[in-house]
Amino acid sequence: MLRLAVFASGQGSNLEAIYHSISRGALHDVELALVISNNSASGALSFARKREIPGIHLSVLSCENDKLKFESKLLLTLQDAKIDLIALAGYMKKLPGKVLEEYAGRIVNIHPALLPEFGGKGMYGMNVHAAVLASGAKISGASAHFVEGEYDTGEIILQETCPVIQGETPESLAERVKEIEHRILPKAIQVIANRVNKGK
């Protein structure tokens, strides 16, 4: 069984999707072992606590604004929990370098657009959907990709598209894209888990 840590800053609907995929066996050989959030008031942390999944509030701020302290505390937390895989599910921060190194090839992020377009710094939340609409694109979707140093780079694991409907607002587009995210993030975790298991 591979041990998964989910990092989430907000509502946590992708975390819920992962949880339910595991519960119904669609995502298998993976255990939801830890939830980490930089936001103590996140829906993700309260969901974890309700389900008795270990949930930890950890951020640079909670480490006296000391980036190095945060990096070593985070690494230690992951090692103590024997984490094998990491899923960034609406995590609004960059992972520290040592965590990226330690978990290279074992970190997936979900992005609410079709990368490589509409990614990079500032491309998060409604900004992404507003940019898609402003571009006149006729399709959007979501991308699950490996995490490397920069925002939204790294090999794409899975993508799924949806049409952009006339008169669409960023909010209405976000809603449909989220349904896609909830489908492809657990599948992408499975892809990584299978690769890790093969390499063992």
If the CB atoms of residues 66 and 175 are measured against ligand GRF, the closer one turns out to be: 175
Q: How far is the CB of 89 from ligand GRF (least distance, A)?
A: 5
Q: Which amino acid is at 197?
A: N
Which long-range contacts (C-beta less than 8 Å, at least 24 apart) are formed by 42-45? 42/8, 42/9, 42/10, 42/11, 42/12, 43/10, 43/11, 43/12, 43/13, 44/6, 44/8, 44/9, 44/10, 44/11, 44/12, 44/15, 44/89, 44/90, 45/8, 45/12
Q: How far is the CB of 128 from ligand GRF (least distance, A)?
A: 8
ω into residue 54 within 30 of 0, thus cis?
Answer: no
Positions marked catalytic? 111
If the CB atoms of residues 73 and 178 are measured against ligand GRF, the closer one turns out to be: 178
If the CB atoms of residues 65 and 161 are measured against ligand GRF, the closer one turns out to be: 161
Binding site for ligand GRF (CB under 6 A): 8, 10-14, 89-90, 110-112, 124, 178, 181
Find the residue with minimal CB distance to ligand GRF: 90
Q: How far is the CB of 23 from ligand GRF (least distance, A)?
A: 17
